[in-house]
Structure 1
Amino acid sequence: MDNYKEFLLILSSAGIVGFIAIVFVIRWVLYYQGGLAWDGKLAEFNWHPLLNICGFIFLQGLAIIVYRLPWSWKYSKLTMKFLHATLNLLAFISAVVATVAVFDFHNDAGIPNMYSLHSWLGLTAVLLYALQLVLGVGVYLMPFTPVSWRAAFMPIHTYGGLLLFGSVLATALMGITEKLIFSLSTDPKYKDLPPQAIFVNTLGVLLVIFGALIFWIATRQSWKRPTEQFLHTLHSERGSEVESKVGPALSQLSDGAEGEEALGEVRRRINKIDDQVN
């Protein structure tokens, strides 16, 4: 992998920031908001921010970058597809339970549903995420799907995933701000910046940093997982030309730093050949 140390630094930072954000939201709902329960009261509502941040944001972020982890490249692409789909499914389940919790709380308390921008964007994100999940499984995990369909759908799938992740982050920031405004409507008020406001505002900053790091990892082409199908196509279509230029680097692949360096050399040579042909 090119810039391997930079990748490890960004990945570690994302993991640390994401973990701290999870600790913050747990602290918020347990200490400031009265804990967790499933009784239609405020404690049931608290599942909403907890599951959305731990599941819909953190697990979705992991699902986005799972293909970029170089130590996972020794596993087949199909195995990684199942892992990617599993993480997304867990994120979706978390989002559904979180949505049920807030609707149940609103209905029990006589609070109207779906009146705020946060609720509009939140429900839209959940529905589109379900569509993204169904299409992803149908196109990439069903063996009868034509390869041409998979190739044509890939840009849409990739863009849709990043767009949804950004939308969920933005919706979460709206939600925690809205919750603070309601929770701190009397003394102390939100505008006076009491400890809870500072704490939850910091949680919002952590979510933004986590999202920025995930976006950075997901958009670096030099950190993209090498495509086995692409390598196979190059060998079959370009024959001896590819074999003579890529073959020596492939023969050097092994575990550890030498394997990573050789893999980076394969990528550079493939890209160079591809540029020459196109």
Structure 2
Amino acid sequence: MIRMASGWFYLSCLLLGSLGSMCILFTIYWMQYWRGGFAWNGSIYMFNWHPVLMVAGMVVFYGGASLVYRLPQSWVGPRLPWKLLHAALHLIAFILTVVGLVAVFTFHNHGRIANLYSLHSWLGITAVFLFACQWCLGFAVFLLPWASMWLRSLLKPIHVFFGAAILSLSIASVISGINEKLFFSLKNTTRPYNSLPSEAVFANSTGMLVVAFGLLVLYILLASSWKRPEPGILTDRQPLLHARLTCAGLGHCPDGCQDAAHCWGGEHGSCDDPGQHPLPYETWRWKGWSEHARWDSRL
């Protein structure tokens, strides 16, 4: 059963990668074939970077980064490399997003077009603002070692909720943006939008790919069988940033260390395998043990 679940997971990841690649390639082809290509000179061709970069950043890279902790390889061993990968992919997504915003604002300002007046722009700028807050908060609380387990436990469900909410807002913004672009581009042509010319069919299909990608990301995030299992015993737990629980000043190995072979160094020793300690971090702290240990079994 586990192998079957794992097989379906990797098959879903393969499908997700294919959908994400198609979303980006379809958007590039739309802008290149029907909208004249790309430039960086304040013209309409500069605007064409906007849909490509926003789809790549706020949808594809963002969605992929959200699934890092669903990989079974992230369930064992140190969490820090996976945290760094999660943060790095989101940072790439944010950089692409910022460049995409620069493209559209520069085009609007160059052509004296109003900014942030449409529902599409309101959805998009809200998603970007929440994304920036989400990344900064996640970096400060979940990656840096200062935060207590209590704070991380409190903020984790909020972090997860806004992760899914931002992706949903991004998809809504992309769909409304595709519609807006088609209305503006086809309103004075011989074949208007309501006659469904080939460009409209292709752009609508691109939007459906974006929706399919987003739904699959949300499904993988919500599927309980693909979530990181909660540890039943602390031997599964790993320290963040390779911190160790020190036993300095106790004069002996504490009772929590069930295997004396893991304690070394005499009076100023440390527990070489922190997983041997059955007590949670807060209990250690109140016992006067080191406050430098940070446990990251669930967060």
TM-score (norm 2): 0.75
Amino acid at match of 1:134: C
Q: Kindly indicate which of the two structures has a greater share of residues assigned to helix.
A: 1
Distance 1:24 1:226 in 2: 37
Coordinate RMSD, CA, aligned:
2.0
- The percent of aligned pairs where both chains have the same amino acid is 43
Match of 1:217 in 2: 220
Equivalent of 2:204, from 201, 205, 215? 201
Deviation of 1:96 after TM superposition, in Å, equals 1.1
The unaligned stretches of length 5 or more in structure 2 are 238-254, 259-299
Distance 1:231 1:15 in 2: 35
Deviation of 1:19 after TM superposition, in Å, equals 1.2
Amino acid at match of 1:96: V
Distance 1:112 1:220 in 2: 42
Match of 1:47 in 2: 49
Distance 1:73 1:110 in 2: 52
Match of 1:69 in 2: 71
Distance 2:101 2:196 in 1: 28
Deviation of 1:225 after TM superposition, in Å, equals 2.2
The unaligned stretches of length 5 or more in structure 1 are 240-278
Deviation of 1:177 after TM superposition, in Å, equals 0.7
Larger radius of gyration: 2
Equivalent of 2:125, from 101, 118, 123? 123
- Give the secondary-structure state (helix, strand or coil) at the position aligned to 1:39: coil
Match of 2:159 in 1: 157
Distance 1:113 1:22 in 2: 25
Match of 1:59 in 2: 61
Deviation digits for residues 145-193 of structure 1 (CA, Å, limit 9, x no counterpart) = 1111011100000000000001100111000110011011122211111
Distance 1:61 1:165 in 2: 7
TM-score (norm 1): 0.81
Distance 1:194 1:156 in 2: 44
Distance 2:152 2:48 in 1: 40
Larger RCO (alpha carbons 8 Å, 6+ apart): 1
Amino acid at match of 2:213: F
Match of 1:94 in 2: 96
Deviation of 1:213 after TM superposition, in Å, equals 0.6
- Of the structure 1 ranges 195-204 and 52-61, higher mean CA displacement relative to structure 2 is found in 52-61
Deviation of 1:74 after TM superposition, in Å, equals 4.8
Amino acid at match of 2:109: N
Match of 1:79 in 2: 81
Deviation of 1:130 after TM superposition, in Å, equals 0.3
Count of aligned positions: 237
Amino acid at match of 2:40: W
Distance 1:14 1:24 in 2: 15
Distance 2:51 2:16 in 1: 20
- Give the secondary-structure state (helix, strand or coil) at the position aligned to 2:211: helix
